[in-house]
Structure 1
Amino acid sequence: MEYSALIFDDCMDETDSYENLEASVQVFQKDDRCRQIVVSCSTEWLLKLAQRPSPKMMMVQMADTPYVALLNGLKAVSQENVVVVGLSHIVDREKLDTMLCELGQYPAIYYNEDLQAFDTRLLMFSLQLAIETNVQIDSYAMAVEKLSNTPLQKI
């Protein structure tokens, strides 16, 4: 299953690190199923990452407001499936394989706050509904959970 990786984090937690960002990018670079890596995080980390660009990678500046940040990150995604990761942990290839296998059966998979997988259309629908209903959201998982009729499948 081909997918886009969306590395999305405000880089404010103690456990977030630039080293985790670099390691996660490497995991996705080596995965032939990953067609695109979208990175949306702090400007400082984006500038460091931009010094070593790669063909799969696209960088999106993190907006100040949660909804705009979520929308901007997702607008850059080009594949029908997206794996969303944070920066508290390095992406584990085995967990990634499990997520993608589950995503083939169900459109919204939740492992933890730093690893989720979605059908991109479901996320777009949920974010659009958030605009229309003025619901406050601060994560992709929250958007799907609050605004779609599709509960998250937790693994």
Structure 2
Amino acid sequence: MGSNLGNKRHFIESAISALRNEKKISVKRISSIIETIPIGNVHQPDFLNCIVECDTEMSSHELMQTLLNIEKKLGRERNEKWGPRTIDLDILFFDDEITDTEVLKIPHPEIMNRPFILQLMNELAPEFLHPKLNQTMEQLYDQN
């Protein structure tokens, strides 16, 4: 998750609380919160980012809808691709699922283009195997 508008830490903490309040989601672990520079050509403030590991009874599509609802409650507006946002919630992985639909792509297609994701995934779950690349987070982080 990430935030680069307003009280960024508050939005991160609020999103984590919202996840914890969902009956079908169990928050397991949370990575460090780090500051990262924006990606894309849009001039905007730096981000705070972290990764949250959850267990859920939901399908990946149900989880995505839940994340979109949390974003909306926290004031997320989708005016500009890669633009500033109060909160951005993505599904990076969903066990070993591979999904490629218009609304949901798992694993997240930008993982290899965002070194901070590999850094935080290596911190949280170094032995987790990327289902498409068949390499652990530690291996991918070390290569990057």
The alignment's TM-score, normalised by the length of structure 2, stands at: 0.32
Q: Which structure's residues are more often strand, by fraction? A: 1
- Structure number with higher helix proportion: 1
- The alignment's TM-score, normalised by the length of structure 1, stands at 0.30
